[in-house]
Chains A and B, each alone.
Chain A
Amino acid sequence: MDFIANAVGRLVPTELEGRRLKPFAGAHADLAGGTGYGGRIRAAAQYTDKLLPDLDAAIEACAIRDGMTISFHHHLRNGDMLINLVMEKLAQRGLKDLVLAPSALFPTHEKLVALIESGVISHVEGSMNGPIGRACSLGRMKKAAVLRSHGGRFRAIQDGDLHIDVAFIAAPCSDAHGNANGLYGPSACGPLGFALADSLWADRVVVVTDHLAPFPCYPWTIEGGHVDYVVQVERIGDPAQIVSGTTEITRSPTRLLIAEYAARFVRDSGLMTEPGFSFQAGAGGVSLAFVKFMADYMAAAGITADFVRGGSTRFMVDLLNRGLTRYLLDGQSFDRDTVASLRDHPRHVETNPFVSYNYHSKGCFAQRVQVSVLGATEVDLDFNVNVNTHSDGWLLHGIGGFTDAADAHVTMITAPLVRNRVPIIVDRVTTVTAPGEMIDVIVTERGIAINPRRDDLQERLRHSSLPIVPIEKLSAMAVAMTGVPEKPRFNDRVVALIEFRDGTIIDVVRQLIPRE
């Protein structure tokens, strides 16, 4: 296997398991070009009745064979019942070497580890969760996993790098033609955009719903014209796990302090009061508090943002209802209030990874976001960020939308400097998920570091009372508390590729040699 050093200095293979790979060359080195990939189309005349009696009938109709790629979306989050159900049915049929292509996985999908170990699933292309990541780290997948960001997944499907044989789309609401949305029914989850690419390019598309509505099911995030079959089942998910009743702000004083620093940074930078202000924040502990602080500062200054971008929560909805933002652009909803707002508010807009994140297009709106607030497991002195592996070497997380959202004008990482004795700032990240050139600010409870590439931000914050320090100083503070951690040990086998959003390889994860 040939390895080549890429633009962030990581050795990556030029070819792996028959696939030719391009090394990462820079965050914006690649432009969209070439030709797209066309999926298979069958004659429309066969589709007068798409409704099948059950999942088994759909599996039969799709003629699933060994080695096929089966895809799912993750809008039902930890409440999802479909992935386990379908994969277990495929296992019972004796199928093997299947490629699992979900947009994300959750703790509820831990059962899939058994299917990986028994060879039903050869590998995962998409995301990871803890237990499946552990299996991957130990080399239990037959082939290397491929990790992609949400935008990167859309690109891979549209470009034909990820060919989906059969897409199963869990739909909270669908008609018999396959027009579907996530807004209504007992499993309502809000947007359904993560399934869009699957519906457009998979050879076979099966919509599975527990709420069959009369035609037309509108709005139709998934258009029936792309759907082969519709199956009605009793339940696609557990509503309590799909959206939480309410999302709550952290009580952790450290996290509150980090969130406050991040919001003050945005305020003190002057970005907040300039025309075209917008920001993106998710549902993590720090993010919710950040949104709350921003709401206070914006209200005090009389600011209305052009738009805010979620992962949406009731705190984002609150911004919309208080007139603190013109639009709420929503990729996924985290609580019940958000789903209701998406249904009812004309300026709460459902988005999908094409409009928001797909780099391989004529532009997505990620770059139009002024401030993006994201978490990380490690940041190094070059500002490279790791969200996939932990410092002990275990692969535990997917990329989510990280590399896409990091394309904002100002990308801020919020994280505790020391997390249960583990320092966040290291000399060299275990795995590079995103290059330092995309990361502008690190906000910790003990200080804020600005990327030296961003003189403009240094200048904007010159008179701020915030504790702005060089990243080396943050690192020294952490080491003074914890000591220098040991490095994990790996063998040579590549167990996962970290694909950048443009399809190049930014890093690889190797098989871990666990200590004891």
Chain B
Amino acid sequence: MRRERLVPNVVRWIVIALLIIGGLAMIFPLVWLVSTSLRPAPELLLVPPRLLPEHWTLDNYAKAFASAPLLLYLWNSFVFALVSTVFILLTSTVAGYIFAKFRFPGNNVLFMLVLATAIVPFEIYMVPLFLQVNALKLVNTQIGLFLPFLVLSYGIFFMRQNTMTSVPDELLDAARIDGMSETGIMLRFVPRLLAPAIAALAILAFIQAWTAFIWPLLILNKPALFPMELGLSQFANTRVDFGLTSAGAVVAMLPTLIAFLFLRRRIVEGITLTGLRG
């Protein structure tokens, strides 16, 4: 009896050890990036390279900040992601609620249209979209950058499903009897019942805009408007100094990692909740 329990325990610890080694290998590139950014120039060319710098330095950061407006890029990304998230939350919650709770002619047709576009990747229609934005003379402007990120087909679908499952008709009727206006119900009452879904969608929307790359690349060539991803890639494309590019990369990663430290559970929940749509 005792031996039977002992053997699986040994196996269990071996498996855990292997999983931890694999996990450390997973974060190695991130650690390496940070370590490279803290190396003085001569140590960058060391063969074989060492895991940690011998002489720690912040010179690379000073040089990186001096040669590219990294903080401006971060700010641009933040504004972009924030505007996109607010719009997507508003349009998705409202449209999702209407599709879920109101019967009107065309409800099904319109919703099917939304659903159908949810499977069309952005890359498919980016050329015509560029022409539209060009026709509006919005190339190289912030509004042109924001435009495609104001609605999210999947967001409307997601909020409709959540409204159907977590907003009972009885509660809506009760609110109506209490004399709440339709607008009040839609913008104040319903969102409170949908808080977890809204949080998940907010995380999805924010990450989507924060990591956007090809649209900013198409629409912007004024560095002052660049979000971080585009700014960093242009910054690194013209440079081969690893210390410098690593410092830039760490600056770009830092906000995400800090956000994750504080919102770990919410982010993982959000990703699984919006991911498991199949």
Please say whether chains A and B are actual partners in one complex.
no
